[in-house]
Structure 1
Amino acid sequence: MAKVAFIGLGVMGYPMAGHLRAKGGHEVAVFNRSGEKARKWASEHGGRAAATPREAAEGADFVFTCVGNDDDVRSVVLGECGAFAGMKPGATLIDNTTASAELARELDAAAKDKGLRFVDAPVSGGQAGAENGVLTVMCGGDEDSFQAARPVIDAYARMVGHMGPAGAGQLAKMMNQICIAGLVQGLSEAIAFGQRAGLDIETVISVISKGAAGSWQMENRHKTMIDGRYDFGFAVEWMRKDLGICLSEARRNGASLPVTSLVDQFYAEVEAMGGKRWDTSSLLARLNR
Structure 2
Amino acid sequence: MTSKTYDPVPSQRVAFLGLGVMGHPMAGHLARAGHSVCVYNRTAAKAQAWVNEYGGRSAPTPCAAAQDADIVFACVGNDADLRSVTTGADGAFQAMKAGAVFVDHTTASADIARELAAAARARGLGFVDAPVSGGNLGAINGALTVMCGGDAADFAKIQPVAMAFSKAVTLLGEAGAGQLAKMVNQIAIAGLVQGLSEAIAFGQKAGLDMKAVLGVIGKGAAQSWQMDNRGPTMVDGKFDFGFAVDWMRKDLGLCLDEAKRNGARLPVTALVDQFYADVQADDGGRRDTSSLIQRLK
Match of 2:232 among 201, 219, 223: 223
Distance in 2, matches of 1:272 and 1:245, equals 20
Residue matched to 2:14: 4
Residue matched to 2:193: 184
Residue matched to 1:210: 219
Q: How many residues align?
A: 287
Distance in 1, matches of 2:239 and 2:36, equals 37
Residue matched to 1:58: 67
TM-fit CA distance, 1:39: 1.0
Q: Which residue identity lines up with residue 90 of structure 2 in the other structure?
A: C
Write out per-residue CA displacement over residues 236-279 of structure 1, whole angstroms, 9 at most, x where no aligned residue.
Answer: 00000000000000000000000000000000000111101000
Write out per-residue CA displacement over residues 22-69 of structure 1, whole angstroms, 9 at most, x where no aligned residue.
Answer: 0x2100000000011111111211111101000000000000110000
Match of 1:197 among 203, 206, 210: 206
1:13 has 2:23 as partner: yes
Residue matched to 1:99: 108
SS in 2 for 1:164: coil
Unmatched 5+ stretches in structure 2: 1-10
1:266 has 2:275 as partner: yes
1:38 has 2:66 as partner: no
Distance in 1, matches of 2:108 and 2:294, equals 28
| TM score, norm. by length of structure 1 | 0.98
Q: Which moved more, 1:236-245 or 1:197-206?
A: 197-206
SS in 2 for 1:28: strand
Residue matched to 1:256: 265
Write out per-residue CA displacement over residues 219-243 of structure 1, whole angstroms, 9 at most, x where no aligned residue.
Answer: 1111110010000000000000000
Q: Which moved more, 1:212-221 or 1:75-84?
A: 75-84
Residue matched to 1:114: 123
Q: Which residue identity lines up with residue 51 of structure 1 in the other structure?
A: P
Percent of paired sites with the same residue: 66
| TM score, norm. by length of structure 2 | 0.96
Instruction: Give matches, 1:119-198, under 5 Å.
Output: 119-198=128-207
Residue matched to 1:236: 245
CA-based RMSD of the aligned residues comes to: 0.6
Write out per-residue CA displacement over residues 86-133 of structure 1, whole angstroms, 9 at most, x where no aligned residue.
Answer: 100000000000000000000000000000000000000000000111
TM-fit CA distance, 1:79: 3.0
SS in 1 for 2:172: strand
Instruction: Give matches, 1:276-287, under 5 Å.
Output: 276-287=285-296
Distance in 1, matches of 2:160 and 2:169, equals 10
Distance in 1, matches of 2:53 and 2:282, equals 38
Question: Runs (4+) of structure 1 moved beyond 3 Å?
Answer: none
1:88 has 2:105 as partner: no
Residue matched to 2:81: 72
Distance in 2, matches of 1:287 and 1:86, equals 52
